[in-house]
Chains A and B, each alone.
Chain A
Amino acid sequence: MKSYIAKNLVNALEVLNKDECEIVAGGTDMLIQNRSHTGMSIGYKTNVLYISLIKELDYIKEDSHYIYIGATTKLESILKNKITPIILKKIIHEMASPAIRHTATLIGNIANASPAGDSIVGLYALNAKVRCQCINGERIVPLHKFIRGVRIIDLKFNEMITEVIIPKNDFSSIAFKKVAPRKSDAISKMSFVGLLKIEDDLLLDLRIALGAVYITVVRNKDIESKYIGKNIKELKENIDNILKDYEPLIKPIDDQRSNKEYRKKVALNLIKDFLLNV
């Protein structure tokens, strides 16, 4: 098994082109997933490419339409940057602790593709895309197509995610709720993101994303579009119908953190609460 430490992007892409590797950024998830005994090296079962020291991918920048976050940008830097969307700040604020946020990356959370990954819920709601690069070129993929299942992503062996791209948008109402046994340093039992835009009493945009209630984040644009264009009174009159629409999509599991009945009930209650408070 080989380990590579890349100091620039070209170097990383060259390594990936010749050798299949697991890519490690902050390593906070990879290290636990491959945990060994105290005093032993991390027990990776594949070659490893460390990318955390690639400075050119440590950035948050914007143009008139998008915000771009590089693959080695740490969660704490994203939390403290003024151009980060507010909903993403709210989410990162509740992720782990400062010590983890100083090393963990947003793109690591995407690549880990856990159904309980908090940032992914927000990124689904924000219509985020990822840029994947290889030595021969690049492609940009919507996040909901990139994440295929529990820890399954659409990344080819010679590619790496270099950037997440977030469309800029204004919302009238935003909500994030993480249901967990404590406020910090906890993995979600389930999580909720709601975003909506209202102008002149009309609902112009509605986005609901649910984490840890299915194999990937649940977001359904067909349901959202059914209610876009309604006024606030009509929206509130339709809350029961909206809950009925979401009910079959929420298929959580029982695990050590919670059970499926609780997760489903809480998910529907959070949708209801968000819409009642419009």
Chain B
Amino acid sequence: MTEIKFTLNGKKQILNTDPNRRLLDVIREDFQLTGPKEGCGEGECGACAVLLNGQIVNSCSVPLANVDGQDIVTIEGFSSTKQYHVIKEAFAKAGGVQCGFCTPGMIIATQSLLSENPHPDDYEIKIGLSGNLCRCTGYNLIIKAVKTASKDGDGLW
């Protein structure tokens, strides 16, 4: 057991737990935040994506030890921001959501991309979303949603 301190969705947390646990399990089981989901469990599908210090990471591939002292935001925490509402509206408008399993990860990937590059072109969007798999939409509508968010939220990022 090790004391691990981190900020989760703006709140400071102290856990006395096994540092070899995966961040995804801690988020889902200790905090009942089920937005990040386990898809592949090996960092390929992006369904478990969260923001670590503002950047997208796969929480299934992050040992808890590596978040000591760091800032974590899940889709639940991100949903209280203005940026989230712009991205959410854009996904709804563009039809970028079908079954919804990949959507929290897609929104986290969009935020990570736009925070670094507020006006990405198609190629940059594809790179930004390249670690997030969607088996429903065929991606074109998601790419359109990111472009819409970038336009509608101009100035937010």
Chain A residues with CB under 8 Å of chain B are 3, 5, 24, 26-28, 31-32, 35, 38-42, 44, 48, 50, 52-53, 76, 93, 96-100, 102-103, 183-185
Q: Which residues of B contact A (CB under 8 A)?
A: 2, 18-22, 25, 29, 38, 41-44, 46, 49, 52, 55-58, 60-63, 65-66, 68-69, 109, 112-113, 127-128, 130-132
CB distance B131 to A39 under 8 Å?
no
Instruction: Write the nearest CB–CB distance from B25 to chain A, whole angstroms.
Output: 5
Instruction: With CB as the reference atom, state the residue of chain B lying closest to A183.
Output: B130
Which of A50, A98, A100 sits near B63, CB closer than 8 Å?
A50
Tell me whether chain A's interface is mostly helix, strand or loop, or mixed. loop
Whether A99 contacts B49 by the Cβ 8 Å rule is: yes
- What CA separation (Å) do A183 and B57 show in the bound complex? 19
Indicate if the CB atoms of A184 and B63 lie closer than 8 Å: no
By the criterion CB–CB under 8 Å, are B69 and A27 in contact? no
19 additional A-B residue pairs with CB within 8 Å, beyond A53-B66, A98-B128: A27-B61, A27-B62, A28-B43, A28-B58, A31-B62, A31-B63, A35-B42, A38-B41, A39-B29, A40-B25, A42-B22, A48-B65, A50-B19, A50-B65, A53-B69, A97-B132, A98-B113, A100-B43, A102-B56
Shortest Cβ gap from A227 to chain B (Å): 36
A71 to B50: give the CA distance in the assembly, Å. 24
A93 to B69, CA, bound (A): 29
Chain A residues within 8 Å of B66, by CB: 26-27, 50, 52-53, 103
Q: List 13 A-B contacts (CB under 8 A).
A: A3-B20, A5-B2, A5-B19, A5-B65, A27-B62, A35-B42, A50-B63, A97-B132, A99-B131, A100-B43, A100-B61, A102-B55, A103-B58
- Cβ-neighbour of B58 out of A40, A76, A99, A183 (below 8 A): A99
